[in-house]
Structure 1
């Protein structure tokens, strides 16, 4: 019997969640409550659509020519896909049988034992590190950053290719000292292919309103070009590709 997972939605020709053209699956369920989340409708794992791995693979195969031509693949994002490790593992295992590149977009807030089997079939990890400062991380997400930093270290230890994603939010995650501390930590790892700085936006604000949630960043602007450049330069100072 094919393994079933809970997903929120699918983007068949994504270009921002890993290399090339990608079939992007947004999983349902997330343990974080990030203040700037643009997919709060993925939080509740009891919502969403049930789908089997067989169904997904049959649909993915329709896009193989685009995926292969662009050197793309399949990305599992969320929500937090590692809340459904058996589903993630089987999906990626089947993708590898089809010769398709796999990317896992995760916050890393998950026990490492739940991750190791999935990583056997994962080509690239997109690790979202919200902040290196533990107090700010807790304020931003509601949880500790310790599991995420442990995962980053583990991914380096097993030499799993990794892109680090950092959301730059004015007056929250744009503190140069915090960015420098993160850059210093990342410079000790050996598997980072690049750091992606993601400028804060409010495109998901309407979802918060529809769901009846209070959006605390209503008056927060997008970061200026100067702020983005400042952050880039700090990471570059530590020999990290941005």
Structure 2
């Protein structure tokens, strides 16, 4: 069984094609710009049977086309890697594309086995510098970088994702460092720049939490273009979501 926060049908932003997106409950990061702070607690959500999710995927399979499928997001889905293995095995039996959207901070034998049945990894890079990564997430970035190396060694299809937060993750030096770190990863098909937004602030208020980035404004077109131009030096495909 999986601890599920919510499910979205006909999603178009979390992997290729049209997808069924399952958001799992629980995350080990506390990102300062998190838009789904209600997914962070390890308790809560609904327990769902694997076959119930498979049935939903089969029901929506006609909409998937050649590229679509199922994306498991969160929260941090790899916290439930062991439980995801039988789901991904079943989806592969049904010839349904599988995708994991992860911060890359969990890496164990269950994750390795799960990746054998995973068609695509969306790897969220919060910050390339450890000190700033800790500031943003409360955790070091070493596990994420180690998982990235493993994905490279296995040739696992990977899309990088990077939230561009003004004054926090848009420093020119850091963007170049990010690009140089990953430029020779042949398994990385593209990097998605995700503009900063504060659409989840109301969740903080509802949960009685303090949102620390209240004074940060959304990206200007100039800021997005600058970041894209820098990163295009290192990646063959840059998308601004």
* TM-score scaled by length of structure 2: 0.97
Aligned equivalent of 2:94: 98
Distance 1:114 1:199 in 2: 32
Aligned equivalent of 1:203: 199
The counterpart of 1:10, out of the listed 7, 10, 26, is 7
Asked whether the 8 Å contact 1:21–1:70 carries over to 2, the reply is no
Aligned equivalent of 1:26: 23
Tell me the CA shift for residue 85 of structure 1: 1.0
Aligned equivalent of 1:184: 180
Asked whether the 8 Å contact 1:85–1:114 carries over to 2, the reply is yes
Asked whether the 8 Å contact 1:165–1:195 carries over to 2, the reply is yes
Asked whether the 8 Å contact 1:112–1:151 carries over to 2, the reply is no
Where in structure 1 do 4 or more consecutive aligned residues deviate above 2 Å? 111-114
The counterpart of 1:54, out of the listed 51, 54, 67, is 51
In the alignment, structure 1 segments of 5+ residues that lack a partner are none
The counterpart of 2:67, out of the listed 71, 79, 82, is 71
Tell me the CA shift for residue 221 of structure 1: 0.5
In the alignment, structure 2 segments of 5+ residues that lack a partner are none
Deviations 1:39-88 (A, max 9, x none): 11011121100001011111111101001x25201000000000011222
Distance 1:189 1:71 in 2: 23
Count, aligned residues: 238
**C-alpha RMSD of the superposition:** 0.9
Superposed, 1:219-234 pairs within 5 Å as: 219-234=215-230
* TM-score scaled by length of structure 1: 0.96
Tell me the CA shift for residue 111 of structure 1: 2.5
